[in-house]
Amino acid sequence: MWVHAVSVGESIAAAPMIRALLAQYPQLPITVTCMTPTGSERIKALFANEPRIQHCYLPYDLPWAAGRFLDHVQPRLGIIMETELWPNHIHQ
């Protein structure tokens, strides 16, 4: 599963949902992406002791970058927090 939280606010908003998913599906690994240093710091702080969480920055929304990212992560489901539009990541 992949959860994209652009910045710190979206990361905070996503945390309860991510925790609920981890509780409901104990074997589920989740990749959490963001676009800002403050979002990254918050994700790392919120899930520092959670080995099922992988965190990285989402690449720019260019077709080749989106395709490469999704080929690497291979999520079965993607959740984009709030109203962010990422046409290449969604289309891929």
Which residues are the active-site residues? 10
> Residue 44: which residues within 8 A CB-CB, separation 6 or more?
55
On whether the CB atoms of residues 29 and 52 are closer than 8 A, the answer is yes
On whether the CB atoms of residues 27 and 1 are closer than 8 A, the answer is no
Q: How far apart are CA 49 and CA 66, in angstroms?
A: 28
Largest CA distance in the chain: 34
